[in-house]
Structure 1
Amino acid sequence: MFMRYFLILICSGIFACSSKNSSNLVSDKEITVSIDTVYLDGKGEIIFVFNGLSVSDFSTDQRLMFNFDFMTPSIEIFDLDNLEFQERILLEKEGPNGVGEMVYDFNLLEGDLFFAGSRDQNLGLFSFKGEMQRNITLEKIHEIKQVPFGTLALKQSLVLQSEPLILFGEFSDWSKNDGTVKEFIGVWYEDEEYFEEYGIEDWFGFENYRAMVDLGNFKTSFNAYWFLMENIPGGVVVSTNLTSSFLWFDKTKREFRLVKGNHQLIPNTVNAVLSDSYPSNESFSNALNEIKKEISYLKPVWDWDNEIFYRFAYKEKFDANGKVVASQVYLSVLNKDFSIIQESHVPQLNKSPNFHFVKDGKIWIFENVEDEVSFIRVKIDL
Structure 2
Amino acid sequence: MYKFTAIPLFACLFSVLIFSCENKKEEVKAWSLVASGEKIILPLDNETSNVSMGLELFQALSPLLFNFNEITNSLQIYDLETQSLKKELIFDREGDQGVNIAYFHVLSMDSIILFPPYGGKLVLTDTSGKIKKRIQFDLPSGYSTIFPHNSYYVSPPVVIGKELIAKVRGDKRPTEYTQDLLDSLALEAEINLESGALRLLPLGFPRDYLSSGNKQLEYSVNNQGEKKVVSFMGDHRLYFSDQNSKEWKAVEAKSQFLDDQMPTIPKDVDSRGFNEYAFAKSRYESLVYDSFRKVYYRFAYPNVSFETDEELRALRNSPGPFVVMVFDENLNLLTETKFEAGTYLPTNFFVGEKGLYLSLSHPDNPEIKEDEMAFELIKLEGN
Q: Same fold (TM over 0.5)?
A: yes
Tell me which of 285, 308, 313 is aligned to 2:275: 285
Matched residue of 2:187: which SS? strand
2:95 is equivalent to residue 65 of structure 1: no
Deviation for aligned residue 1:266: 3.9
2:237 is equivalent to residue 245 of structure 1: yes
Change (3 A) 1:269 1:241: farther
2:272 is equivalent to residue 272 of structure 1: no
Residue 205 of structure 2 aligns with an amino acid whose one-letter code is I
Change (3 A) 1:236 1:99: farther
TM-score, normalised on structure 1?
Answer: 0.70
Indicate the residue corresponding to 1:338 in structure 2. 331
Indicate the residue corresponding to 1:132 in structure 2. 131
Task: Tell me if the contact between 2:214 and 2:264 (Cα under 8 Å) persists in the aligned partners.
Answer: yes
Tell me which of 199, 202, 213 is aligned to 2:204: 199
Alignment of 1:1-382 (within 5 A): 29=30, 31=32, 33-36=34-37, 38-42=39-43, 45-46=45-46, 48-49=48-49, 52-61=51-60, 63-100=63-100, 103-110=101-108, 112-121=110-119, 122-139=121-138, 141-142=139-140, 147=141, 152-157=143-148, 159-161=157-159, 164-172=162-170, 183-190=185-192, 194-200=199-205, 202=207, 204-205=209-210, 208-209=213-214, 224-230=216-222, 232-235=224-227, 237-248=229-240, 250-251=242-243, 253=244, 257-263=248-254, 265-267=256-258, 270-278=261-269, 280-288=270-278, 292-293=280-281, 295-322=282-309, 323=311, 327-346=320-339, 353-368=346-361, 369-371=368-370, 372-382=372-382
Larger Rg: 2
Task: Tell me if the contact between 1:243 and 1:269 (Cα under 8 Å) persists in the aligned partners.
Answer: no
**CA distance in 2: counterparts of 1:28 and 1:268, whole angstroms:** 28
Q: Deviations over 1:322-377 (max 9, x none)?
A: 52598444332211122212334456987662322221332211132232201122
Alignment RMSD, CA only? 3.6
Instruction: Report the number of matched residues.
Output: 323
Task: Tell me if the contact between 1:329 and 1:351 (Cα under 8 Å) persists in the aligned partners.
Answer: no
**CA distance in 1: counterparts of 2:327 and 2:177, whole angstroms:** 40
Residue 158 of structure 2 aligns with an amino acid whose one-letter code is L
Aligned residues: percent identity? 15
Q: Which structure 1 segments of 5+ residues have no match?
A: 1-26, 211-223
Task: Tell me if the contact between 2:146 and 2:166 (Cα under 8 Å) persists in the aligned partners.
Answer: no
Task: Tell me if the contact between 1:235 and 1:249 (Cα under 8 Å) persists in the aligned partners.
Answer: yes
The range that moved more, 198-207 or 70-79, is 198-207
Residue 199 of structure 1 aligns with an amino acid whose one-letter code is G
Indicate the residue corresponding to 1:10 in structure 2. none
TM-score, normalised on structure 2?
Answer: 0.70
**CA distance in 2: counterparts of 1:355 and 1:91, whole angstroms:** 23
Residue 209 of structure 2 aligns with an amino acid whose one-letter code is F
Task: Tell me if the contact between 2:218 and 2:233 (Cα under 8 Å) persists in the aligned partners.
Answer: yes
Deviation for aligned residue 1:85: 1.8
Q: Which has the larger helix fraction?
A: 2
Task: Tell me if the contact between 1:318 and 1:326 (Cα under 8 Å) persists in the aligned partners.
Answer: no
**CA distance in 2: counterparts of 1:331 and 1:179, whole angstroms:** 30
Residue 74 of structure 1 aligns with an amino acid whose one-letter code is S
Q: Deviations over 1:152-171 (max 9, x none)?
A: 32140364228623232223
Task: Tell me if the contact between 1:327 and 1:350 (Cα under 8 Å) persists in the aligned partners.
Answer: no
**CA distance in 2: counterparts of 1:195 and 1:155, whole angstroms:** 11
Q: Which has the larger strand fraction?
A: 1
Q: Deviations over 1:281-312 (max 9, x none)?
A: 234434556xx34x222323222222112223
**CA distance in 2: counterparts of 1:242 and 1:232, whole angstroms:** 23
Change (3 A) 1:378 1:197: same
**CA distance in 2: counterparts of 1:341 and 1:268, whole angstroms:** 20
Change (3 A) 1:71 1:329: closer
Q: Deviations over 1:72-123 (max 9, x none)?
A: 22110111122222221222221222222xx232101246111111113242
Deviation for aligned residue 1:248: 4.0
Q: Which structure 2 segments of 5+ residues have no match?
A: 1-27, 149-155, 362-367
Matched residue of 2:360: which SS? strand
